[in-house]
A and B are shown apart, each in its own frame.
Chain A
Amino acid sequence: MTTVERCVGAPMTRVDGLDKVTGAARYAYEFPTRDVSYVWPVQATIARGRVTEVDPAPALALPGVVTVLDHTNAPRLNAEAPAGADLFVLQSPRVAYHGQMVAAVVATSLEAAREGAAAVRVSYEREPHDVVLRADDERLEIAETVTDGSPGLVERGDADAAWAAAPVRVDRTYTTPVEHVSPMEPHATIAVWDEERLTLFNSDQGPYMSAQLMSALFGIELSAVEIVAEYIGGGFGSKGIPRSPTVLAALAARAVGRPVKIALTRQQMFQLIPYRSPTIQRVRLGAERDGRLTVIQHESVQQRSALVPFADQTVSSTRMMYAAPNARTTVKVAPLDVMTPAWFRAPGHTPGMYALESAVDELAEALGMDPIELRIRNEPETDPDSGKPFSSRGLVECLRTGAARFGWADRDPAPGSRREGPWLIGTGVAASHHPDYTFPSSAVARAEADGTYRVRIGAADLGTGARTALTQVAADALGIPLPRLRLEIGRASLGAAPFAGGSLGTASWGWAVHKACRALREELDTYGGVVPDGGLEVRASTTEDVERRADLSRHTFGAQFAQVRVDGDTGEVRVDRMLGVFAAGRIVNPHTARSQFLGAMTMGLSMALLEVGEVDPVFGDFANHDFAGYHIAAHADVPKLDVMWLEETDNTSNPVGAKGIGELGIVGAAAAIANAFHHATGERVRDLPIRVERSREALRAARAAGKHRPGAGGPEPRVG
């Protein structure tokens, strides 16, 4: 056929766009359900201790309240299930974090459930708690493994001797705060039991994997669990697995024998949905005077909960970014009386590359060298961590292409040298990196006798454009026009498939879709191209294909550029422009890919300048727990951003040639902005976010040190 390659690479409008702009798209909470009840959690007002008594009487006296659940009467979960302790909802009197669910009210209306929850009286035995992350915490331990499966400590060469001998050294500590994922759609579930069958309409990044987890927790067959996740209002990692509200809905529905729904309030999102761990990162870079790195040491201090040993892969990018012969990279975690942190867009890589790429900028300054040139000088030939060849490595081309497009050559490297009226203006650059993961997946392709085709896969589209990209892949692989194709995703029963996380969706699902469609075509050929009565169906799995891939170091790269302006009087920081240049395999849909990159860079801007979860050490909770207190970037914060990508063909990847792009765009964005802030003001802020109080402090320090070149235009800043 001649139609191959027609759709992949074309800027197709989102196939589900019409449903989204008309309000027709159904999210988890919105499926019509008969006789539905509402469950509202009662949350712990202590951070550590145990529940001594739950008095349901005041709640039960209210009209509409059906029942009050607590650890004494909630249905039992399978204690052997391989699930994190946070998911064993209402199974014990133990309180491990402030805001944990300790009871729940089921009622016939939303209002009655909420009022009932406020009326339940809970007594506690309180124990002293500790919720503050400290670099000198005596309980800090090196993580056995981090999220990507690698060890918490990796060494090569002799990092101590090389550090002692390095002619040029940078030794700095950077911190990032608690960051809340905050998808616009709060976590929501409708749970429906039919005898021993459980159906969950769930806001969920991975319906199949979630069904596995829920079947284990409730001790029922995998085939008895259906998860429907047709539309997901953003996830960014927070909906990667079911969280406590999903388990609560299923428990409550089982207890009352009718469907139950829950949607967290925005405030509850901050208390019940995992966040990005704060980090305290010490980076030490040692180099020869020509800029060649001799040693990298990167230690990240993070928090976990008392019960769950979670550790982000914060130093994993550092292990393979630059060609230093000696390195020590470490993740240490302290067990605190907090909700377990978890994944948030490019887990680990995002805060880790903020620290590393800030330190590289500081080293460039110490060397008197251009920061792009410094990175290029330390470009490795093979993966410095594993020794494997790279399947592709576009970092240098991204940096060079970006430099030309951004106008880097015109930059005066002296900090504090450009001023327009009250504004100090600076530019910065940082590298971007994310691993290229591919997981096995299955897919089904079916030809109907009427000439139409159906492709089914247990994928999920949380706004990424997966539904559109997979449609394009399928249409090309089948060689048919789009109107004859129907793609079904968003259900566990569509078959084994990985979740939408780790930027692995398009590569993993796309491969399975491609394989199933090609196999169907071949099968059809044996029928002389005529679809038999009753249709023809082919199921494909890529498990063996993924295993058979060449043993290469697989990654995606990018370069981030930013220009910021800082008001010398007020300290206000504005981002004027950003450019992201990326090398991430074949781009299936330029339209949705551009949106993915833009969105990730926007989130990086938000991280750099706005986002901080304020920990209250006394009560043990977050002092800011809504969008008035936890600021995420709004329209007025975000300028026009520029995105481009390189034509990258990585034939070793998968037949589609696609790699993941959802996370790459956030990595490095905050470092580029922080480096630009330094270039603008001459002073570095090493603690994110760079909000106005930190900006003003930096301006005061810069002025005291005389770092703004006098007479560069405009009056002296009046900070004081």
Chain B
Amino acid sequence: MRINGTPHSMTIDNRTTLLDVLRERLGLTGSKKGCDHGQCGACTVLLDGERVNSCLMFAVTAEDREIVSIEGVADLADGEALHPVQRAFLDHDGLQCGYCTPGQICSAIGALGEAGRGWPSHVTEDIAAGVADASALDAREVRERMSGNLCRCGAYNGIVEAVLEAAGAQGPQDTATAATSAAGGAR
């Protein structure tokens, strides 16, 4: 399989997950093990461009596939040191302990790709029509599409802001009923 652009050939135990190959065999420890069960999303990587939970995938089934982990996402952005999603996470402090962060970032890149192809979500108004593109997403859409990635530190507000910025979202981004300040902070 190709991982972050580099071909890898190896013999592996057929019980070994893709996540354990990345972490234990290749030293690519950016992908995290939070539950090993497909319930937290910390292990999310891109498989042929789509987001997957690498803990739920036996590595042998990834033969000949193209895998991008957090260590490789910057290369998806031409000539940039960081992927725009990474940059936005920093700017909006969409992280605290950082353990769910690689999964959140890979998941966000995958989600923006899905939206770019018009895929609807559970909260899309017209399921048949889908969404126009990633920039049509609002906060509610981002929350729905990112809900497979848990964060116990509770960095959700910052993550949603970051994903919306990376999506190039236009117009009102929050459909919450309240008029709350975006900034918070000292008076």
Contacts and interface: CB of A to CB of B under 8 A. Distances in A.
Interface stretch (B112-120, B128-136, B149-157): B149-157
Interface string A258-271: 00000101110000
Contacts of A11: 185
> Chain B binding site: helix, strand, loop or mixed by DSSP?
loop
B9 to A, nearest CB: 20
Given A17-B95, A185-B97, A595-B93, A32 B40 contact: no
A184 B95 CA distance: 12
A635 B37 contact: no
Contact of A13 (B42, B90, B139, B150): B90
Contact of A577 (B30, B154, B178, B186): B178
A641 interface: yes
A30 B154 contact: no
A32 B157 CA distance: 34
Interface string B25-40: 0011111111111011
B180 interface: yes
Given A23-B70, A184-B34, A638-B143, A628 B39 contact: yes
Contacts, number: 218
Interface string B86-99: 10011101011111
A337 B178 CA distance: 47
Given A111-B15, A266-B34, A627-B150, A21 B178 contact: no
B13 interface: yes
Interface string A635-665: 1101111111111000000000000000000
A595 B32 contact: no
A232 B97 CA distance: 6
Contact of B186 (A22, A25, A587): A587
A14 B155 CA distance: 14
Given A30-B23, A595-B96, A640-B139, A577 B176 contact: yes
B40 A603 contact: no
Given A266-B36, A595-B155, A234 B99 contact: yes
B143 to A, nearest CB: 4
Contact of A183 (B37, B139, B152): B152
A638 B156 contact: yes
B178 A590 contact: no
Interface of A: 11, 13-14, 16-27, 29-30, 32, 109-111, 182-186, 231-234, 236, 263, 265-267, 401, 462-465, 563, 576-577, 579, 587, 590-592, 594-603, 606, 626-628, 632-636, 638-647
26 contacts: A14-B95, A16-B98, A20-B95, A21-B70, A22-B71, A22-B82, A22-B86, A23-B70, A27-B29, A27-B32, A27-B99, A184-B40, A233-B32, A233-B100, A234-B97, A265-B36, A401-B187, A596-B96, A601-B154, A602-B156, A628-B39, A634-B147, A634-B150, A638-B157, A639-B178, A645-B185
User: Lowest 6 CB-CB distances: which A-B pairs, in order?
Assistant: A23-B30, A463-B97, A233-B99, A602-B154, A20-B98, A599-B154
Given A21-B98, A234-B97, A590-B186, 18 more contacts: A17-B93, A21-B86, A21-B105, A22-B30, A24-B30, A27-B32, A27-B99, A234-B96, A236-B152, A265-B35, A266-B40, A463-B97, A576-B177, A590-B185, A599-B96, A602-B154, A626-B35, A644-B185
